[in-house]
């Protein structure tokens, strides 16, 4: 920054000021209804007990019924632990996250169960990540053809049409790639959950892609540090990045069409997840 000879006390004061601002931002009360919630994890290196370990910086982004997108939370921990996810989601709910209808995320172990414990909401498995997993079951030379066949389901005008095409494609692929068809059978409801919501919103509901640019900025800033000295330093830096990005979002146009939120109540949305089905 062009500054020389900064004292330890000055650095300490600067960090304290940043921590206070970031803490207020990440723990602010949430008002109104937030129908959609995206969750994603960015993995960072940190020193812990003399070792260098990988931790997940979990970022939560939601859209309210005014069509505004906001970063509503961030924490650091082991992404696969159900207790970690449950604690984070409960903290969002305690701060006022209400009216939730759909959670969009990758298939982190424990997350699906945590959603069912904390919210009465459907879960959308990130379509982009799912497709990568699906194509791992077929030879590389067949990826384009198989992906095109599966994507036919995503172009249908409604959920029933998408389900019909999905099952038809799964049956077509079954003789050659039974593992892929089995994956399609097991994950149909999770990958097509977004089809039950208003068509005006679907392009932003089927994956965690809306967080991609945000995660790239987080990684860009984190790469400068390399290995963080502790988890508090992660929250300080990444929290400041998120605070800056959220402020920028508020000056932009609405992220989603407001009128379409009124259609959610009339949509044929599958029942929320139940705890007993989490092993599926």
Residue 162 is assigned to a structural domain of this protein: yes
Range of the domain at 148: 127-206
Distance CA 138, CA 132 (A): 11
Quick check: pTM over 0.85?
yes
Residue 276 is assigned to a structural domain of this protein: no
Judgement on whether residues 105 and 219 belong to the same structural domain of the protein: yes
DSSP state letter for 96: T
Domain end position, chosen among 160, 178, 206: 206
Please, what is the Cα angle at 268 between 266 and 274, to 5 degrees?
A: 120
Residue 277 is assigned to a structural domain of this protein: no
Judgement on whether residues 113 and 227 belong to the same structural domain of the protein: yes
- Residue 213: the pLDDT is 86
Question: What residues contact residue 274 under an 8 Å CB cut-off, 6+ apart?
Answer: 116
* β pairing state of 122-125 and 51-63: unpaired
Residue 151 is assigned to a structural domain of this protein: yes
- Residue 79: the pLDDT is 72
Judgement on whether residues 91 and 200 belong to the same structural domain of the protein: no
Please, what is the Cα angle at 131 between 127 and 136, to 5 degrees?
A: 155
Q: Token pair for residue 37?
A: 């919630």
Q: Token pair for residue 241?
A: 């990045």
Tell me which H or E stretch contains 62.
Answer: strand 51-63
Judgement on whether residues 137 and 184 belong to the same structural domain of the protein: yes
Residue 24 is assigned to a structural domain of this protein: yes
Judgement on whether residues 86 and 222 belong to the same structural domain of the protein: yes
Question: What residues contact residue 14 under an 8 Å CB cut-off, 6+ apart?
Answer: none
- Residue 8: the pLDDT is 66
Distance CA 36, CA 38 (A): 7
Judgement on whether residues 214 and 187 belong to the same structural domain of the protein: no
Judgement on whether residues 80 and 172 belong to the same structural domain of the protein: no
The total of structural domains in the chain comes to 2
Judgement on whether residues 63 and 200 belong to the same structural domain of the protein: no
Tell me which H or E stretch contains 71.
Answer: strand 69-77
Judgement on whether residues 26 and 115 belong to the same structural domain of the protein: yes
Q: Find tokens 């459907």 and name the residue.
A: 122
Judgement on whether residues 202 and 215 belong to the same structural domain of the protein: no
Domain end position, chosen among 162, 185, 206: 206
Residue 233 is assigned to a structural domain of this protein: yes
Residue 4 is assigned to a structural domain of this protein: no
Judgement on whether residues 33 and 48 belong to the same structural domain of the protein: yes
Domain end position, chosen among 206, 235, 250: 206
Judgement on whether residues 148 and 194 belong to the same structural domain of the protein: yes
| Three-state secondary structure call for residue 204 | helix
Q: pLDDT 10s digit of each residue in the chain, 280 long?
A: 455 666 666 666 777 888 899 999 999 999 999 999 999 988 999 998 889 999 989 999 999 999 999 999 999 988 778 899 999 999 999 999 999 999 999 988 788 889 989 999 999 999 999 999 999 999 999 999 999 999 999 999 999 999 999 999 999 999 999 999 999 999 999 999 999 999 999 999 999 998 888 989 999 999 999 999 999 999 999 999 999 999 999 989 999 999 999 999 765 566 555 544 443 3
């Amino acid at each position: 920054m062009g500054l020389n000879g900064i004292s330890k006390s000055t650095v300490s004061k600067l960090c304290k000021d940043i921590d206070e601002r970031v803490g207020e931002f990440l723990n602010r009360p949430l008002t109104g209804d937030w129908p959609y919630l995206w969750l994603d994890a960015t993995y960072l290196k940190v020193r812990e007990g003399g070792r260098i370990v990988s931790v997940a910086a979990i970022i939560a982004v939601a859209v309210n019924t005014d069509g505004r997108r906001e970063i509503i939370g961030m924490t650091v921990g082991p992404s696969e632990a159900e207790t970690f996810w449950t604690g984070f989601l409960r903290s969002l709910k305690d701060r006022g996250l209400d009216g939730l209808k759909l959670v969009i995320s990758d298939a982190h172990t424990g997350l699906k169960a945590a959603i069912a414990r904390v919210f009465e909401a459907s879960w959308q498995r990130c379509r982009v990540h799912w497709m990568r997993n699906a194509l791992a079951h077929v030879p590389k030379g067949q990826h384009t053809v198989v992906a095109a066949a599966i994507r036919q389901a995503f172009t249908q005008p409604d959920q029933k049409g998408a389900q019909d095409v999905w099952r038809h494609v799964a049956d077509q692929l079954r003789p050659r790639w039974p593992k892929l068809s089995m994956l399609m059978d097991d994950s149909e409801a999770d990958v097509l959950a977004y089809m039950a919501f208003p068509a005006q919103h679907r392009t932003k509901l089927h994956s965690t892609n809306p967080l991609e640019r945000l995660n790239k900025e987080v990684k860009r800033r984190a790469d400068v540090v390399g290995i963080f000295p502790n988890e508090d330093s992660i929250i300080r830096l990444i929290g400041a990045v998120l605070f800056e990005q959220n402020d920028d979002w508020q000056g932009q146009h609405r992220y989603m069409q407001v009128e379409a939120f009124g259609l959610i109540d009339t949509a044929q949305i599958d029942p929320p997840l139940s705890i007993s089905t989490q092993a599926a």
